[in-house]
Amino acid sequence: MKLTVKSDSLVVKSPQEIILARQKVREYARSLGFNLVDQTKLITATSELARNMVEYGGGGIVVIEHIDDQGQKGLRVTFEDQGPGIADLEMAMLDGFTTGNGLGHGLPGAKRLVNEFEIDSKIGLGTRVSIVRWA
Amino acid sequence: MERIPIIKMGPFLLVTIQVDMHDRLVMALQEDLTEMVSSNGARGVLINISSLDMVDSYIGRMLGGIASITSLMDAYTVVVGMQPAVAITMVELGISLQGVMTALNVEKGMDLLRSKLKLAPEQDHEIDREE
Ligand SMILES: Nc1ncnc2c1ncn2[C@@H]1O[C@H](COP(=O)(O)OP(=O)(O)OP(=O)(O)O)[C@@H](O)[C@H]1O
Ligand SMILES: [Mg+2]
């Protein structure tokens, strides 16, 4: 059972707000005792997913949580938008797939940077991505 | 309009990237660099990213874009000062700075450029005089 110890949520619609989300995640990661490399992985994954949300989902909400699973501390970050959704999730998770002018490493790359990765998307309703890294 | 300063260092240009740069700032920098490479005949550009605490695919693309523009102008780009944690994370993320040379710091970056351009070490001033 994952309990939320502390959380913050931020509206992210602009590139400037992506930076704020990264700073908040950094703050949480530091206070949870993540080392520098793990902090960097978390803020990089946050940057990728928040940017997708701004670029393709029209912006959305980022929720940052300090979670606890029977004494195991972790950081969960959830990205939720009400954009157009992703037509083919399997394709979107492949390295090199993009419908924009990216390189298509954002989603699969973010997944590699964390311990748990969940993505849920419905056409016309939006996209929700949730990542966890254990401390 | 806000712009990133470009500093002339002997035959090279030095750009220090502080934080995330938005699209317009990146475009302005690319224009300014192109302009300065052609007007100064600079053959090398050093991009210092030591104050960046992460490089995501967006920043990676921006660095690659600068490198490909300067290479069209017959100049080399070296990215210097990447923090170790940033390098480790970039590899896992799956982005490589393709076509971009890297060096540990500004000094090593200048050495790399000098050897690429077959300039003798520390002869920047002579080159200046020749121009
Ligand atoms: N929040 C979202 N809403 C709608 N579509 C999305 C969202 N996130 C990702 N996508 C779709 O999934 C594709 C793959 O995303 P991914 O982040 O892997 O690559 P990219 O953003 O295209 O390029 P990169 O991240 O390398 O710059 C995107 O091109 C886009 O079509
Ligand atoms: Mg992306």
Domain that holds residue B113: 6-130
Q: Which of A44, A93, A113 to mutate to test the interface with B (most CBs of B within 10 A)?
A: A44
Question: What is the tens place of the pLDDT at every residue in A33-48?
Answer: 999 999 999 999 999 9
Nearest neighbour of A15 by CB, restricted to B20, B53, B61:
B20
CATH T-level topology, domain A2-134: Heat Shock Protein 90 (3.30.565)
Rounded to two decimals, what is the model's pTM? 0.91
Look up residue B2 and give its DSSP letter: -
Residue B39 covered by a domain: yes
pLDDT, average across residues A10-27: 95
CB contact under 8 A, A39 and B22: no
The finding on whether A130 has its CB within 6 A of some atom of ligand 1 is no
Extended beta strands in A1-135, E state? 2-12, 60-69, 72-81, 116-122, 126-134
Residue B25 covered by a domain: yes
Question: What's phi and psi for A131, nearest 5 deg?
Answer: -125, 150
* Token duo for residue B79: 């990215």
Q: How many CA atoms lie within 13 A of A62 on its CB side?
A: 30
Residue B1 covered by a domain: no
Q: Which pLDDT score is estimated for B129?
A: 45
Question: What's phi and psi for A42, nearest 5 deg?
Answer: -65, -40
Q: Hey, where are the domains in chain A?
A: 2-134
ipTM above 0.85, yes or no: yes
Ligand 1 centroid to Cα of residue A114, in Å, is 18
* Residues contacting B12, CB < 8 A, separation 6+: B42, B43, B44, B45, B46, B110, B113, B124
CATH at B22: 3.30.750.24
**Whose CA is closest to A22, among A37, A12, A32, A33?**
A12
Lowest-confidence region among A1-10, A16-25, A126-135, B24-33: B24-33
SS3 B28: helix
Total domains in the fold of chain B: 1
Question: What is the tens place of the pLDDT at every residue in A78-134?
Answer: 999 999 999 999 999 999 999 988 889 999 999 999 999 999 999 999 999 999 999
Calculate how close chain B gets to A43, using CA atoms only, in Å.
7
The finding on whether A86 has its CB within 6 A of some atom of ligand 1 is yes
